[in-house]
Chains A and B, each alone.
Chain A
Amino acid sequence: MTGRTSEAENGRREMSMLRMRSSTLRFLAQTILLLFWSAITLWANEPKGLPPHGTNIFAPASTPARSIADLSVFVLVITGIIFVVVFALLVYSVVKFRGRAMDAGREPAQVYGSTQIELAWTIIPILIVVVLFLATARVIHAIQDAPEPAGAAQVTAIGHQYWWEFRYPNLGIVTANELHIPVSDPSHPTPTFLQLLSADTDHSFWVPELAGKTDLIPNHPNRMWMDPRRTGVFLGQCAQYCGTQHAKMLLRVSVDGPEEFAAWVRAQQRPAIEDTGAIAGRRVFESNACMNCHAVAGTAANGRFGPDLTHLMSRATIAAGATKNTHDNLRLWIQNPSAIKPSSLMPAMQLSDADLDAVVSYMETLR
């Protein structure tokens, strides 16, 4: 008799505990749902999609990026299944084998192990690893050991502290920060092969929608390739910490149609335009330290520490993508580089207002 009452009491106590637990759970669930919902609306309303393409690794636009994305989905599915199975086992054992008020003092059956079960959960994971490894090795080989076709474009990319130098050895072009490459038609592929070098510290070339990243390491030349299938501007940036302004070492790749690319090449191959109207600015440029670091083809300026300025006005951005290439930004950048990119290696030249205006108008003739 007494035993039964105490059991009932226990039951009641357990019920009230359950009720309490369920109200707490409901509160938690509501909070989490609310947080998720507000996060999703905030994210959806965020201004997105500048005219250039984004930087989503699951929106590939070239063969290496696509085979990586396909492999990634495969790996995600397998790991997703593993997660569901193990998570279900975990939740089941936590819920099913939770201690109850009535077992007070009694111990469960003492089980020490089971060889069969251990074998099962050793062999199945080994099989999964073999499958994942074979799928991965295939993609590694396909991307890294791809032969270079005859029509491939060649570019040498050189990482500098906080900007990119691009040289086209076969075309005689030198430019900076905005890489132009031809679109590749699958029936007549024209992939671009990049030779990657560094002038100072380590950098990493990453344009997520075109290819995985590869580091630019001093004394350790690297190679990568991409064959974009769509035209447009693709964004990326330096991915390996390279110093104070690592964050503003941005990267733009312009994928051009065949005619467009040919026109761009012709324009870049011309020496700097001689504009008599800007002769004063050119004198300031060449009589100050500007020409020690910057080159303007066809003039005495042949420095190599900074970006080549021969066709500066053909670029949409300055300061490695830190800001748009407009008159005001250009003036500010020459007057006080720290205002746009603190600790960049470009010095403030302390020019007078007249000299500053003259240099800016000279720059604006470099089309």
Chain B
Amino acid sequence: MSSNAITIPGTQIQARPWVDELHQWLTTVDHKRLGILYILSALLFLAIGGVEALIIRIQLMRPHNDFVSPEVFNRMFTMHGTTMIFFVAMPVLFGFANYLVPLMIGARDMAFPRLNAFSFWLSFLGGLLLYFSCLGGSGLYGAGSAPDVGWWSYAPLGARAFSPGHSSDYWTLALLVSGFGSIGTAINIIATILCLRCPGMKISRMPLLVWMNLVMAGMVLIAITPLSAAQIMLLIDRYLGGHFFDTQAGGSAVLWMHFFWIFGHPEVYVLIIPCFAFMSEIIPVFSRKPIFGYPVMVAATVCIAFVSMSVWAHHMFTIGMNSYANSFFTLTTMAVGVPTGIKIFNWIGTMWGGRIQFKTPMLFSIGFLFQFLIAGLTGIMMAASPFDWQLSLSYFVVAHFHYVIVGGILFALFAAFYYWYPKMTGRMLSERLGKWHFWLFLIGFHLTFDVMHIPGVLGMPRRIYTYEPGRGWDTLNFIITIGAFIQAVAILVFLANLAISYFKGARAGNDPWDAWTLEWSISSPPPAYNFATVPTVGSRRPLWDLKHPEDPDSRYE
């Protein structure tokens, strides 16, 4: 872009090239730049949320610790959860979707470039709004006043009687604003995929990444709207005398739970389906085989999307629903395991008979498969609602969903970073640092989250700022904290790799992995217009057809 800018000798513009550059980044409507902005903002919040996690772990390192006060601890877990879900996981996945979807379908940009920029800035400002609560919540004193209501903000804790001041207003507004951003991006992704595919790319020929992001975007539209509605109702309660969730005046705490979880559970799939997408692109390339069972993978994704809309109350097994409701949600939740299992089998089927190359993206993908398997099985345990009456709200649940989010989503994201960083920057990430990153993170992860299941079984509830000695929890918590620090070191290695490789990495060339989808047919990084001539495709792996004219895929589809 900058090379096209007209420079006038002797003017201020020439004296301040970085201002120009910054101006271009801030006003960009290019899907690739917006994708990178999404990813950078997510990395910023990842660092903040990670520090919050470390504070939580130091406090819980031993019983009756007083590293932070109860108020600060409660703010830390509230901010950690809210930050990681809304301002790390969602933006980073939207970032990859933004960057990759147009490239993979042979388009020159998203369908609505300006809506794209608007959505990004809404999401980012939502994050700033959340952190502004530290200053603006109820004044500058003590340790600030970030919200301390938990990331669910269960009624009536979020009502004015129990949450005075403005801290939870910032929480509400942050989620509302970034929610509108998410809806904008979802509409954009759907429109792009439906309308901008290049000639020959029938819907049955789209790469699986595109298919899965289409499903994800559809789920965002359905899942975010009830959350936004609930936030508006909460604001009405707090400022206009409403009583939706105000239990002191006859409101319903259970209504909030339903609103929150009918967003909250599909949200898990909104986050994991793009990760399935990464796996479905990376595993075939490093196994040197096409994905096993493409139509079944698409069907399983759509099936997960449908079924996951009817499982939300498994977060509410302890609220005293009747036995029929508990049985229904047990069945639907277990049923989600079937299409999810099909996916795992198809990925193994893809590796079966292949020639697997253990580059860093593949290492993270294998880590993903292993951890996602365990996360799915602990999920089945908690789907059995009586088992959940014991495990729910305990550290077992915390271990389970971190297995999904860190062991699954974050591992898949790391795979995606190592795989597409060369396309985004034109440089390879260091394999040596990558392997250090992988092994350190793997060890730290398992030390933390394998062990974390046990205190849950031994009766340790979540969200407690301290605990009693002598219940068998002390050593376990100490080990968990050690693991957290190993993970933190691994993240530093990763960030260092991103920074160092940007300047010193080996040149990537167009197609460093010998891959098969359209983004690898153009230069790295791609030009602003993506494709000089719009490509035409004849199969699901257009670059395979080019490289193997004697045996093209188009012959078998």
Are these two chains actual partners, yes or no?
Answer: yes
Contact indicator B463/A241 (Cβ below 8 Å): yes
Is A201's CB under 8 angstroms from B334's CB? no
Given known A-B contacts A90-B369, A137-B327, A243-B157, A55 and B348 have beta carbons under 8 A apart: no
Using a Cβ–Cβ cut-off of 8 Å, how many residues does chain B contribute to the interface with A? 104
Q: Is the CB of B457 within 8 A of A99?
A: no
Do B293 and A118 have beta carbons less than 8 Å apart? yes
Please give the distance in Å from B552's CB to the nearest CB on chain A: 10
Chain B residues with CB below 8 A from A22, complex form: none
- Measured between C-beta atoms, what is the minimum distance from B40 to chain A in Å? 33
In the bound complex, do residue B318 and residue A215 qualify as a contact, i.e. CB atoms below 8 Å apart? yes
B296 at the interface (CB under 8 A from A): yes
Q: Contact check: which of B288, B358, B472 meets A46 at CB < 8 Å? A: B472
Q: Is the CB of A213 within 8 A of B447?
A: no
Instruction: Give which listed residue, B320, B352, B464, contacts A97 with CB less than 8 A.
Output: B352
Q: Does A301 contact B (CB under 8 A)?
A: no
A111-B464 contact given A98-B358, A145-B323, A242-B157, CB 8 Å threshold? no
- The distance from the CB of B379 to the nearest CB of chain A, in whole angstroms, is 9
Please tell me if the beta carbons of B353 and A97 are within 8 angstroms of each other in the complex: yes
Q: How far is the CA of A48 from the CA of B390 in the complex (A)?
A: 21
A303 at the interface (CB under 8 A from B): no
Bound: A204/B69 CA distance, A: 23
1/0 contact trace for A60-90 toward B, CB 8 Å?
Answer: 0000010110011001100100110011011
Partner of A215, one of B320, B385, B464: B320
Q: Does A257 lie at the interface of the complex (its beta carbon under 8 Å from any beta carbon of B)?
A: no
B99-107, B165-173, B188-196, B473-481: which lies at the interface: B473-481
Q: Which residues of A contact B295 (CB under 8 A)?
A: 113
**B320 contacts across to A, CB distance below 8 A:** 196, 214-215, 217, 220, 222-223
Selected from A56, A212, A223, the residue in CB contact (under 8 A) with B458 is A56
* Given A57-B390, A126-B338, A213-B318: A79 and B380 interface contact (C-beta under 8 Å): yes
Contact indicator B290/A241 (Cβ below 8 Å): no
Beta-carbon nearest neighbor of B347 in chain A: A90
B156 at the interface (CB under 8 A from A): yes
Partner of B323, one of A144, A213, A236: A144
* Closest residue on chain A to residue B387 by CB atoms: A72
Q: Check if B290 sits within 8 Å of A110, measured CB to CB.
A: yes
Q: Which of A324-345 contact B (CB under 8 A)?
A: 342-343
Taking A90-B373, A97-B352, A140-B327 as contacts, is the C-beta distance between A55 and B292 under 8 angstroms? no
From known contacts A87-B373, A93-B351, A121-B345, infer whether A132 and B384 are also in contact, taking CB-CB under 8 Å. yes
A236 adjacent to B247 (CB under 8 Å): no
> Does B401 sit at the interface, judged by CB under 8 A?
no
Which one of B228-236, B250-258, B492-500 contacts A? Answer: B250-258
Query: Do A48 and B330 form a contact, CB below 8 Å, given A212-B318, A213-B390?
Result: no
Contact A56 B337 (CB under 8 A): no
Chain A residues within 8 Å of chain B by Cβ, number: 100
Question: Is B118 part of the contact surface with A, judged by Cβ < 8 Å?
Answer: no
Q: Is the CB of A10 closer than 8 A to any CB of chain B?
A: no
Q: Which residues of B contact A284 (CB under 8 A)?
A: none
Docked complex Cα distance between A35 and B346 (Å)? 35
Interface bits B319-330 vs A (CB < 8 Å: 1, else 0):
110110011001
Known contacts A50-B470, A56-B457; decide if A68 and B389 are in contact (CB<8 Å): yes
Q: Kindly supply a per-residue 1/0 record for chain A positions 207-239, scoring 1 wherever the CB is within 8 Å of any chain B CB and 0 otherwise.
A: 010011111011110110000000000011111
When C-beta atoms are compared, the residue in chain A nearest to B478 turns out to be A42
CB distance from B56 to the nearest CB of A (A): 13
Does B357 have its Cβ within 8 Å of any Cβ on chain A? yes
Q: Is the CB of B472 within 8 A of A43?
A: yes
- A163 at the binding interface (Cβ < 8 Å): no
Point out the residue from B342, B458, B461 that lies within 8 Å of A118, measured CB to CB.
Answer: B342
In contact, B352 and A93 (Cβ under 8 angstroms): yes
A57 to B455, CA, bound (A): 10
Which of A1-9, A100-108, A178-186, A305-313 interfaces with chain B?
A100-108
**Contact residues, B118-154 vs A (CB, 8 A):** 148, 150, 154
CB contacts (< 8 Å) of A122 on chain B: these are 338, 342
Interface residues as binary, B350-375 with A (CB distance below 8 Å gives 1, 0 otherwise)? 01111111100000001001100110
A86 contacts B330, C-beta separation under 8 Å: no
Q: 17 extra interchain contacts, Cβ-Cβ under 8 A, other than A72-B384, A89-B348, A240-B318?
A: A50-B470, A54-B471, A79-B381, A82-B377, A86-B345, A86-B348, A98-B355, A99-B355, A99-B356, A113-B295, A125-B342, A202-B156, A213-B318, A214-B320, A218-B253, A220-B319, A236-B459
B residues near A, CB below 8 A? Answer: 69-71, 74, 148, 150, 154, 156-157, 162, 247-248, 250-254, 287-290, 292-296, 318-320, 322-323, 326-327, 330-331, 334-335, 337-338, 341-342, 344-346, 348-349, 351-358, 366, 369-370, 373-374, 377-378, 380-381, 383-394, 439, 443, 447, 451, 457-472, 474-476, 478-479, 548, 551, 553, 556
Residues of A within 8 A of B (CB): 28, 31-32, 35, 39, 42-43, 46-50, 54-58, 65, 67-68, 71-72, 75-76, 79, 82-83, 86-87, 89-90, 93-94, 97-100, 103, 106-114, 117-118, 121-122, 125-126, 129, 132-133, 135-137, 139-141, 143-145, 196, 200-202, 204, 206, 208, 211-215, 217-220, 222-223, 235-248, 250, 342-343
